[in-house]
């Protein structure tokens, strides 16, 4: 079974996807982590992200894999905190707008997911990567709330010695929202058959309860 979740940054996708993966024993595929890993490698190896050919070659020279918790390994090495740096945040949406990079990422995700129960989240999972997913969700929240959530997350993660500023986070989220909406391929859209949830006034537990009921009903229906 495939569960596909899309939505903007801070909508709660990764937390909910992780809870589904843990409780239902699904593999968790965080597609944003793969775009972040490609972006991180470009920064590390001094590859100019505007040079599509060099970016394609960069993806081809590395091996990408997922751990069951959605974390990404590159050439067998776990990448975690380094994927959440302000430097990666600043250009990941531009990197993910390159159609050839999207095609490479999608093919890695599909090949890792083949024949497995998977919960995958991102921007185009319900529309492009798994258009036939049995369950499609779109998790939304106001930009204000999403920035606040991301701020608290970054404070807890301590990814850098410089403390995060909510104003910078809000600006970055708004910039990425705008870029995600404009993408020529893989733009963030609400799929016609997706269940839309506004999580602005809900706790994670409340969102999960709704999602859990949807999954249970769908699984029971599938067994009839």
Counting contacts by CB under 6 A, is residue 149 touching ligand CDP? no
Residue 55 in contact with residue 95, Cβ under 8 Å? yes
Q: Is the CB of residue 133 less than 8 Å from the CB of residue 125?
A: yes
The answer to the question of residue 122 lying near ligand CDP (CB under 6 A) is yes
Query: Which residue among 130, 176, 194, 211 contacts ligand CDP (CB under 6 A)?
Result: 176
Euclidean distance between CA atoms 185 and 97, whole angstroms:
7
Which residue number has the CB closest to ligand CDP? 32
Contact 211, 137 (CB under 8 A): yes
Nearer to ligand CDP, 10 or 213 (CB): 10
Residue 172 CB coordination number (10 Å): 18
- How far apart (Å, rounded) are the C-alpha atoms in residues 36 and 76? 16
Question: Could you say which of 123, 149, 154, 170 contacts ligand CDP (CB under 6 A)?
Answer: 123
Does position 96 bind ligand CDP by CB under 6 A?
Answer: yes
Rounded to an integer, what is the distance from CA 190 to the centroid of its chain?
Answer: 15
Among positions 2, 42, 64, 93, the unique one binding ligand CDP when judged by CB under 6 A: 93
Looking only at residues 179 through 218 of this chain, which bind ligand CDP when binding is defined by CB under 6 A?
Answer: 180, 186
Identify which of residues 32 and 164 has a Cβ nearer to ligand CDP in the complex. Answer: 32
Which residue among 16, 20, 92, 98 contacts ligand CDP (CB under 6 A)?
A: 92
Q: Using an 8 Å Cβ cutoff, are 75 and 62 in contact?
A: yes
Q: Least Å distance between CB 165 and ligand CDP? A: 16
The span from the CA of 195 to the CA of 197, in Å, is 7
Which residue number, 95 or 211, has a Cβ lying nearer to ligand CDP?
95
Q: State yes or no: residue 12 binds ligand CDP (CB under 6 A).
A: no
- Contact, 120 vs 29, CB < 8 A? yes
CB of 177 to ligand CDP, least distance (A): 8
86/160 Cα distance (integer angstroms): 9
Question: Could you tell me the two tokens for 217?
Answer: 């009903």
Residue 168, Cβ neighbours under 10 Å: how many? 16
CB closer to ligand CDP out of 92 and 211: 92
User: Which residue from 29, 31, 137, 215 is in contact with ligand CDP, where contact means CB under 6 A?
Assistant: 31
Binding site for ligand CDP (CB under 6 A): 9, 31-32, 35-36, 92-93, 96, 122-125, 176, 180, 186
């Amino acid at each position: 079974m495939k569960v596909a979740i899309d939505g903007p940054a801070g909508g709660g996708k990764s937390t909910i996807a992780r809870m589904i993966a843990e409780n239902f024993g699904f593999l968790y595929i965080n597609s944003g982590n793969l775009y972040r890993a490609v972006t991180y490698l470009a920064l590390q190896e001094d590859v100019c992200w505007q040079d599509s050919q060099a970016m394609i070659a960069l993806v081809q020279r590395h091996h990408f894999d997922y751990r069951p918790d959605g974390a990404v390994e590159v050439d067998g090495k776990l990448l975690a905190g380094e994927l959440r740096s302000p430097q990666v945040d600043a250009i990941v949406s531009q990197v993910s707008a390159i159609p050839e990079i999207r095609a490479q990422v999608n093919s890695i995700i599909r090949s890792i997911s083949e024949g497995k129960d998977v919960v995958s989240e991102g921007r185009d999972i319900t529309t492009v990567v798994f258009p036939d997913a049995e369950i499609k969700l779109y998790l939304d929240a106001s930009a204000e709330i999403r920035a606040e959530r991301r701020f608290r997350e970054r404070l807890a993660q301590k990814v850098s010695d410089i403390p995060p500023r909510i104003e910078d986070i809000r600006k970055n989220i708004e910039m990425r929202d705008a870029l995600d909406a404009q993408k020529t391929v893989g733009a963030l859209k609400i799929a016609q058959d997706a269940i839309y949830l506004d999580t602005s006034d809900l706790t994670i537990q409340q969102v999960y309860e709704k999602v859990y009921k949807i999954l249970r009903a769908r699984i029971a229906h599938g067994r009839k």
